[in-house]
Structure 1
Amino acid sequence: MPASLRSFSSADIRERLPELGALLQDCVHDGASIGFIFPFDVAASQAFWTDNVLPAVARGVRLLLVAEVEGKVAGAVQLDWDTNPNQAHRAEVRKLLVAPAYRRHGIARQLMRALEEQARRLPRSLLTLDTRSDDHAQALYLSLGYVAAGSIPGYALAPAGGRLDATTIMYKQL
């Protein structure tokens, strides 16, 4: 299932908002620990893209890289380099998302490799991220050369509530 990747502008975000909203909502409802809890409706999902991602993309401090399969949004990842002056060498990986129907086809790996190439061009030499400890995403990041710096217990409420999950802080030097 080959995916094509492209960077979304703020105009692309507005135009493809329903698809981006559906991607986020599908991932949250599938149990992804990416900052949201139930109930999580379409309005909340779309608000994330318009209120958080779009302004940063418009300011030129965040990249939204989108994977498309047969013209449909299948995944996305963000690179955030809105850092303090003493961190101009660093960027943060945010919200790696792959729609459940498109998982296990290498899309997440493809998105991450492209994101790293974009980071090198900025130039950024250190990437950081956090992920739910022992989640399948952690294994992906480790396989891509990210290093676990440590874990914080009870960091975030699980999407369905009822428990606090640990998070693992990771980094990769490019």
Structure 2
Amino acid sequence: MPLIIEPLAQLTAEQQQALAWQLQACVAQGASLGFYHPLCDADVADYWSQVNTELKESKRLLLGAYLNQQLVASVQLVPCQKQNGQHRAEVEKLIVHPDYQRQGIAQSLMHHLETYASQLGIRLLVLDTQSGDKSEQFYQAVGFTKSAEIPHFVSDQQGTLYATSYYFKRLACSLTA
């Protein structure tokens, strides 16, 4: 069955549950996604509720990837709300459930995200990820350039501090400026 990627404009309870499943599984495997393992169900529900509110307000775009009608991956695009930054957006929470990793889903999600961003007039994407994480190689492989590293930016549950790397990618804009 083919991979289907589509924007999720307003999350249903079923979609929120699938997104929580993705997030919890990735954090359990050590992904640095802003949460410690184990995630409290209430914290995860609060997070996706907040995302849902921002989707309704058109402050965020969420793309979902489906295999066999099951939501297995997602990525978010958050356009800058500042007047002088409307040409840029932040990529957040590229999440692929561990059972579906290394199948090209993340690459497909990023391609679709870049297409949507270009259609919105976004010409610059930015993101951050924990330095040394496997995601750094992925972002470089899909054309992002590392621009900086900030030491001691995130911590694990034991209090060990880690650096965060910042990346950017320029996009061709499909709209005339």
TM range (shorter): over 0.9
CA distance in 1, matches of 2:109, 2:68: 16
* Aligned partners of 1:25 and 1:41 also within 8 Å: no
Q: Does 1:170 align with 2:146?
A: no
1:114-165 Cα shifts (integer Å, max 9, x gaps): 000000000100000001112111111101111100101111012x434111
71-80 vs 34-43, which moves further: 34-43
Question: Which amino acid in the other structure matches residue 156 of structure 1?
Answer: V
Q: Which residue in the other structure is 2:158 paired with?
A: 161
Moved over 6 A (4+): none
Question: Which amino acid in the other structure matches residue 45 of structure 2?
Answer: Q
Q: Which residue in the other structure is 1:65 paired with?
A: 63
* Aligned partners of 2:28 and 2:38 also within 8 Å: no
CA distance in 1, matches of 2:71, 2:84: 36
1:64-114 Cα shifts (integer Å, max 9, x gaps): 000011111110000001420000100000000000000000001010010
Q: Which residue in the other structure is 1:96 paired with?
A: 94
Question: Which amino acid in the other structure matches residue 60 of structure 1?
Answer: S
Q: Which residue in the other structure is 2:75 paired with?
A: 77
70-79 vs 34-43, which moves further: 34-43
Q: Does 1:5 align with 2:5?
A: yes
36-45 vs 149-158, which moves further: 36-45
Correspondence 1:17-166 to 2 at 5 A: 17-51=16-50, 53-158=51-156, 160-166=157-163
32-41 vs 98-107, which moves further: 32-41
With normalisation by structure 2, the TM-score equals: 0.92
3-state SS of the aligned residue for 2:30? coil
* Aligned partners of 2:124 and 2:169 also within 8 Å: yes
3-state SS of the aligned residue for 2:42? helix
Q: Identity of paired residues, percent?
A: 37
* Aligned partners of 2:88 and 2:122 also within 8 Å: yes
CA distance in 2, matches of 1:161, 1:116: 36
CA distance in 2, matches of 1:106, 1:147: 20
CA distance in 2, matches of 1:118, 1:109: 14
For the aligned residues, what is the CA RMSD? 1.4
Q: Which has the higher contact order (CA 8 A, sep 6+)?
A: 1
* Aligned partners of 1:37 and 1:157 also within 8 Å: no
3-state SS of the aligned residue for 1:9? coil
Give the drift of 1:13: 4.0
3-state SS of the aligned residue for 1:16? helix
